[in-house]
């Protein structure tokens, strides 16, 4: 009879721990599933804050390319999240902007570089502004 209150207190203390553990396990499984679905061409952010584009993908390793064209190898589980492309899409109209304002006449330079060649949010240039050469010459 004296053991019953102690067991009851112990059970009441363990319920929140079990609930939190279950939620954490579900969140971790969701994160792992999201990371497994990422592939080449997806822009991601790592847990350390590095933004990059997946250019090569292996079982547990990905190669991320930064904006200046450098490629680094990362553990797949270091990816925190996929990043949405920055800026509005071509057919989107920003808040406070009318459809007429959104239409901008294309120049000859803009028509040369088609939007299908670029990946939103990542700008990679062949020129290295620091050395005056190309980034791919290194």
Report, as an integer, the average pLDDT of 1-27: 87
Q: CB within 8 A of 36, min separation 6: which ones?
A: 76
Q: Give every strand in the sheet of 71-75, ordered side by side.
A: 71-75, 61-65, 51-57, 43-46, 79-82
In the DSSP assignment, the letter for residue 37 is: H
Mean pLDDT computed over every residue of the chain: 74
- Banded model confidence at residue 39, pLDDT cuts 50, 70, 90: confident
DSSP state of 52: E
Judge contact between 71 and 55, C-beta under 8 A: yes
For the entire predicted model, the pTM comes to 0.49
**What does DSSP say about strands 71-75 and 43-46: parallel, antiparallel, or unpaired?**
unpaired
Taking CA atoms, 68 is separated from 71, 93, 106, 130, 134, in Å, by: 9, 29, 26, 11, 10
Structure confidence by residue, pLDDT tens digits, 68-119: 889 999 998 899 888 886 644 444 444 555 545 544 444 444 444 444 555 5
The domain limits of the chain are 1-37
Distance CA 117, CA 109 (A): 14
């Amino acid at each position: 009879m004296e053991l019953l209150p102690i067991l009851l207190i112990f059970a009441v203390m363990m319920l929140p721990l079990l609930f939190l553990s279950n939620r954490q396990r579900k969140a971790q499984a969701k994160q792992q599933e999201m990371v497994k679905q990422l592939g080449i061409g997806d822009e991601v952010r790592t847990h350390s804050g590095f933004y990059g584009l997946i250019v090569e993908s292996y079982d547990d390793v990905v190669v991320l390319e930064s904006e200046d064209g450098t490629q680094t190898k990362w553990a797949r589980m270091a990816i925190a999240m996929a990043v949405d492309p920055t800026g509005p899409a071509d057919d989107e109209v920003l808040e406070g902007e009318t459809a007429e304002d959104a239409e901008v006449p294309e120049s000859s330079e803009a028509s040369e570089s088609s939007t299908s060649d670029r990946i939103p949010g990542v700008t990679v240039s062949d020129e290295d502004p620091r050395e005056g050469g190309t980034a791919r010459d290194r």
